[in-house]
Amino acid sequence: MKRFWLLFSQTVTVLLAAYFVVGTLKPEWLGHQVVHNAALSLMEAPASATGVAPAGSFRLAAQKSSAAVVSINTSKAASNKQHGNDPWFKFFFGDQGNEPQVGLGSGVIVSASGYILTNNHVVESADEIEVVLNDSRKARAKVIGTDPDSDLAVLKIELDRLPVIVLGNSESLQVGDQVLAIGNPFGVGQTVTGGIVSALGRNQLGINTFENFIQTDAAINPGNSGGALVDTNGNLMGINTAIYSRSGGSMGIGFAIPVATAKLVMEGIVKDGQVTRGWIGVEPNELSPELAETFGVKAKEGVIITGVLQNGPAAKSGIRPGDVIIRVADKPVTNVTELLSSVAALKPGTASKFSVLRREEKVELNVTPGVRPKPQRPAQ
């Protein structure tokens, strides 16, 4: 019996050793190829294959939004100047105005039907506009409408299977929130930069008539204009518009138009072909001690009116030079920018309440705004 158990244990040991050798060197003989390969592929699969980005990465936000950000190439025919064919003019000043002008910017696809948001200054006066998608498709774009007061424009292209960005809630942004700027700076190709929201509600910069900028330190350079400012979920928060720079490149101070403003402008342009804003016909100024003394007012805050257009909406409603407007439709105003924005938001033809300080007396007036005139284009 003892001899039998010895023989049995030796046999089992040899069989186990053979199984181990075959399983290691020739696993396919045992039918384990599929299991082995599946386990190996799972171990070696990169994070992107499993849909999980490394900690701290903005990969998913960039992937979600970048497909809807486009490059915009514009061209403008050479102008025929008065002395263009004068040989003496060419001799002294060179051959001017013979080359077409080209421009570069960015845009954001906001509709599957082909609507694109960009800056007005990107497409202004352009004779031809070409849009290049991130997947390298190209299309000629048509200008649906522009709004120089906010420096926004709406284009349209005719392509199918268009990627569309998700519109976020720019009013939920707070200083310190992380954001990404996406565009085509200097024509090098689509680029994603990161930073934070540095400030909100920036105005009085002299960039646009109506200013309410998001300030960010995400690098924005020439060519980024009209591109996307997105949050860490890849949702559109603003349209990149301008930078503060002494060198022409990014110095960590960039400005974007909030998507809430851009959405209103786009809806007005698509629906009516233009943006309709309220207007009352006054010349407003910041309240200063000198102006307060000149007009004999005791107000400490508000916007002083130094001129009123004859027969304009304000004049017809009783507003006079020297009045200090402190509230519009129950919303306080403390500077000219806030007054312009508050009046522009009013519905033309519908009376709104204005609170005015006239010398030492508070006056409530019902003002019916008209339609804000279009800005005059400079002579070419």
What residues act catalytically? 121, 151, 225
Report the C-alpha gap between 256 and 243 in whole angstroms.
9
Contact in structure between 115 and 157 (CB atoms under 8 Å): no
CA 119 to chain centre: 8
Q: Is 134 exposed, middle or buried (0-12, 13-18, 19+ CB in 10 A)?
A: middle
Contact in structure between 63 and 55 (CB atoms under 8 Å): no
Report the C-alpha gap between 282 and 306 in whole angstroms.
8
Instruction: Give the 3-state secondary structure of residue 17.
Output: helix
Could you tell me the two tokens for 125? 């006066």
Q: Is 164 exposed, middle or buried (0-12, 13-18, 19+ CB in 10 A)?
A: middle
Report the C-alpha gap between 199 and 115 in whole angstroms.
29
Contact in structure between 366 and 351 (CB atoms under 8 Å): yes
Could you tell me the two tokens for 75? 């061209």
